[in-house]
Structure 1
Amino acid sequence: MLETIHFYHTNDIHSHFEYWLRSQYFIRNERLAYAEKGEPSFLFDVGDHLDRSNIYTEATLGLGNVKLLNEAQYDVVTIGNNEGITLDFDELYHLYDDARFEVVVANLKAANGENPKWLKPYTILRTKYGTKIGVIGATAFYELFYKELQWEITEPRKAIISIAKELRGEVDILLCLSHLGITEDEMLAQECPELDVIFGAHTHHFLEEGKMVNGVLLTGCGKFGAYTGHLVIQYDHERRKIVHKEEMVIDNALLPEIEGELEFLEQLSHTGKELMSEPLFQSAKSYNKEWFHHSQISRLFAKAVLEHTGADCAMFNAGIFLDGLKKGNVSKYDIHRILPHPINLCVVELTGRQLKEVYLQAKNEEWSQLELRGLGFRGLVFGKILTYEFSVNKNRELIVKGEVSDLNKTYQLATLDMFTFGYFFPNFKYAKKKYYLPYFLRDVLVEYCKRHFS
């Protein structure tokens, strides 16, 4: 007997629901049609379904995303870094309590105490014809972040390979939901030919027909719900082997529009705004924002950052402020509109010599016009890099907190976690640092204003 099995998959939706209704309507009808033909089907998500820059997701702390996944009848998901490190421990611990699907993450466990009931390294699905399908999941290795959040994360490829070798003899088909990125997926395929397919995510790569590496088929469907993947596997029961596997990608923008799409999006936004409407504090004045200069809100935020961290100086880009702070009652929704980014503070320890180098690098005028995508940034333009409590004077001396610095002394610089990933300031990647989790930038500003505006 030759069995045809269909796997629909999504990844890196990041709470972009513009095509959600039409794509799920399409998938549901396809699955029903295949069921009538006797062909089984499954639906997977490969992580970063939620993104706290979205009002609905922020207001429900991701529980609204789980509700949508339940309604769409997903079978198995793994978590991405947006599920894993943008929620505090308790929020992630209980995120999937009401999930009607399986959650597989092979390289994560609670650092202290019991794991949440939903967390498992793999699951085994079965078709009505008895075919056993092993599904392993793993997420990106953000070790320092998970440690701060009281989770223990291990190297994902090792975890996947260990389970794959264990499962290979027990299942007919072996799949991996990998929120690791295309480079990691390619290395995994080379090291683990036991896998049949790696469903990819994290780096937002797009593989229209998949990519074969060492006999393992890799997939990737971009980002923001623009595409849905459809994998077809043919399994020969007599020969007990896969005889064909084929990946295709559906462009959701080309699917027929579904009645009520606009109302659906408006309702999500309305729900989010209502849940976040309660005032947090009252401001006696308004604070303007500027993307290419210092501004009233950037100075206010710098004070909040320095007070929160106790650092010697601070640095951040002006583009993080999407709006100014209004006079009067300020709600959680208002603050979210100003600072929607899932970004945390980080204090980096640098010598005076290194700090001076950072200051000079920050003067790169090309960066201010950069239209940054990713690294947690959810703004429109990067903006000018602003520095507070450190500068270089006309004599090319480093001034820290108003005094000429000792270039050999160690200073603490409070900055954004996205600057520590090596793209902008390579020295940060290897410097001693402390991340301030789970507080987002908006949380830091709120707490400062509550203390000083009351």
Structure 2
Amino acid sequence: MMQQVETIHLYHTNDVHSHFDSWPQISRFLRSKRELHEAENKACFLFDIGDHVDRSHPFTEGTTGKGNVALLNRAGYDAVTIGNNEGITMSKKALTTLYESADFDVVLCNLEETDHSIPRWLAPYQIYETEQGVRVGVIGATAMYTEFYARLGWHIEEPRQALKKIATQIQHKTDVLICLSHMGVHEDRLLAEESTLFDVILGAHTHHLFTESEIVNETLLAATGKFAQYVGHVTICLDESKKVIGKRAEVIHVNEMERAEEDVDEVNELISTGNEAMEERVFYNAEQLKQQLFTESALSSFFGRAMVEYTNADCAMFNAGIFMGSLEEGWVTRRQLHSMLPHPINPCVITLEGRELLEIYNLAQNEDWPKLEIKGLGFRGTIMGKIIFERLYKNKQGELFAGNRQVVQGETYTLATLDMFTFGFFFPVLQQAEKEYYMPELIRDIAGWYGKQKALAKMNMSEHQNEY
């Protein structure tokens, strides 16, 4: 009978989304576990499976994500892969420089430059060797948002095919093969069904939680939900021939981890650091613009005009729930814009036929929508709020107009809206329509741009009047 000669411990997090309230406990827990296992002469690896970064948090926004990397460094991570929040809510320059100070590997096999070369800040895979000589292969992949990555100057490949290709190439160089998957639980299960090469798939993206492992085709699947509520722990046992003879998974809730008095101060310091980094003035606001959830407002008019002028669209549509506060009179800073519009949402211009635009206008009159709770889609608010239209209205005769043009069947019109509406959950027609995403601009960038333009126009007008 073969004797167990090596136990490998994997600790993993996913979809933290810059929820730092419990990060001091998690970091302390991970450091203590590594010290414990190393004292026992047992191998230990720490992995993050993407979406650690979320630009809705002031610390992440203020440090352009590099603060997240510093937190991962301090906790002692060995490798990470990226999620869509790292991949498509950051500019190409920001992502290219994000991991400059990383003490860990970025493992990702399905992202390339547009000329198909491998970006210098990542590796398709890594092979680690334990003190007992066990070779641990790690391959990472992220979800395929083809059009978004293309707009940012990246090429994204289908992840399952890329993973299987690399796994086949390195299978004879490894004793254990681990996948860091930011693809979602459905894709993880398909990968396990299609390939027997992976011993463990650590999952993410769909925020699924496995309190114990799920086994598919002899592959162990593990995941920790979202928002730093759990840390995952996978144990892999090997015999003297370096063959895997046992695997198990568990999750540890943050409430089970040691707390310290300074934890709250540490979290507050992150927020202060981010806010201080965003005190740069953007524009002077001549009058208060109040937020209203269930009706049009001065703030919604300001934002609607910003969307139309920035994109040159015929009309615009958005929901009042995107505003997380008002704009006061006086200087507006990056911090205030971020606080008001924290969402990692891009503007998008959609080309629609008259009948389709009328359908959208009519759908938006649904009386149940304003109080509808929204989760995901990049939205960082709570409820939908009223659907607001800018330059799309009905006259007294009930005829629909986009700007100065009557909306009629057979003609086309352009609608500026939020990218979250293009996924088909509220307006199915928008999913297949011709569209142009604006990237890397987020909607708060559009608001800041418009505020600047208004302030400059007012200043120029004053100077012109003074000449006379």
Q: Given the two structures, how large is their TM-score scaled by the length of structure 2?
A: 0.94
Secondary structure at the counterpart of residue 346 of structure 1 = strand
Q: Deviations over 1:398-418 (max 9, x none)?
A: 322244222111111111001
Task: Name the structure 1 match of 2:54.
Answer: 51
Q: Which residue of 2 aligns with 1:105?
A: 108
Residue 266 of structure 2 is aligned to residue 272 of structure 1: no
Matched, 1:217 2:220: yes
Q: Which amino acid aligns with 2:36?
A: A
Q: In the TM superposition, what whole-angstrom CA distance separates every residue of 1:155-176 from its partner, at most 9, and x where no partner exists?
A: 1111001111111122000010
Whether 1:321 and 2:311 are equivalent positions in the alignment is no
Give yes or no for the alignment of 1:69 onto 2:81: no
Q: Is the Cα contact below 8 Å between 1:229 and 1:247 reproduced in 2?
A: yes
CA–CA distance in structure 1, aligned partners of residues 58 and 256 of structure 2:
26
With 252-261 and 101-110 compared, the bigger mean Cα shift is at: 252-261
Give 1:449's aligned residue. Answer: 451
Which residue number corresponds to residue 310 of structure 1?
A: 312
Contact 1:97–1:117 (8 Å) recurs in 2: no
Deviation of 1:237 after TM superposition, in Å, equals 2.5
Amino acid at match of 1:445: A
Greater mean alpha carbon deviation, residues 292-301 or residues 392-401: 392-401
Matches of 1:29 and 1:258 in 2, distance apart?
14
- Matched to 1:248, the amino acid is E
Counterparts of 1:21-170 in structure 2, within 5 Å, are: 21-112=24-115, 115-170=118-173
**Paired residue for 1:422?**
424
Asked if the contact 2:127/2:136 (under 8 Å) is kept, the reply is: yes
Q: Secondary structure at the match of 1:164?
A: helix
Contact conserved, 2:358 with 2:407, CA < 8 A, in 1?
no
Which stretch shifts more, 383-392 or 349-358? 383-392
Sequence identity percentage:
47
SS in 2 for 1:233: strand
The amino acid of 2:392's aligned partner reads F
Alignment-mate amino acid for residue 330 of structure 2: G
Paired residue type of 1:209: E
Which is further off, 161-170 or 217-226? 161-170
Q: Distance in 2 between matches of 1:27 and 1:275?
A: 29
2:23 aligns to what?
Answer: 20
On the 8 A contact 1:348/1:413 being kept in 2, the answer is: yes
Query: What is the alpha-carbon distance in structure 2 between the residues aligned to residue 117 and residue 158 of structure 1?
Result: 22
C-alpha distance 263-396 of structure 1, shift in aligned 2 (>3 A)? same
Q: Distance in 2 between matches of 1:394 and 1:326?
A: 35
Q: Distance in 1 between matches of 2:405 and 2:146?
A: 36
Structure 1 unaligned blocks of 5 or more: none
What is the letter of the counterpart of residue 337 of structure 1? S
Asked whether 1:293 is paired with 2:295, we answer yes
Which of 414, 419, 428 aligns to 1:412? It is 414
Please name the residue that 1:338 is paired with: 340
Distance 1:365 1:377 in 2: 20
**Coordinate RMSD, CA, aligned:** 1.3
Structure 2 residue matching 1:307: 3-state secondary structure:
helix
- Cross-structure match for 2:441: 439
1:246 aligns with 2:254: no
Q: Separation in 1 of the partners of 2:67 and 2:221?
A: 30
- Asked if 2 retains the 8 angstrom alpha-carbon contact of 1:189 and 1:213, the reply is yes
For the 8 Å contact 2:111–2:118, the answer to whether it is kept is: no
Residue 452 of structure 2 aligns to a residue in which SS? helix
In the aligned structure 2, how far is the partner of 1:157 from the partner of 1:214?
Answer: 16
SS across alignment from 1:94 = helix
In 1, the alpha carbon distance for the partners of 2:408 and 2:301 equals: 26
Shift of 1:21: 0.9
Q: How does 1:315-394 map to 2 (within 5 A)?
A: 315-392=317-394
- Pairs within 5 Å for 1:162-181: 162-181=165-184
C-alpha distance after superposition, 1:237-258 (max 9, x if no partner): 22x3111000000001232322
Match of 2:464 in 1: none
Cα offset, 1:280, TM superposition: 1.2
Q: TM-score, normalised by structure 1?
A: 0.97
Question: Does structure 2 retain, via aligned residues, the 8 Å contact 1:309–1:414?
Answer: yes
Rounded to whole Å, the distance in 2 between the matches of 1:277 and 1:113 is: 39
Cα drift, residue 2 of structure 1? 2.2
Aligned equivalents of 2:258, 2:408: Cα separation in 1: 65
Per the TM alignment, residue 388 of structure 1 is displaced from its structure 2 partner at its CA by 1.7
CA distance in 1, matches of 2:256, 2:92: 39
Contact 2:306 2:450 in 1 (8 A): yes
Answer whether contact 1:356 1:398 (CA < 8 A) is retained.
yes
Q: Which moved more, 1:108-117 or 1:367-376?
A: 108-117
Please say if residues 356 and 392 of structure 1, whose CA atoms lie closer than 8 Å, have aligned partners that are also in contact. Answer: no
Structure 1 partner of 2:401: 399
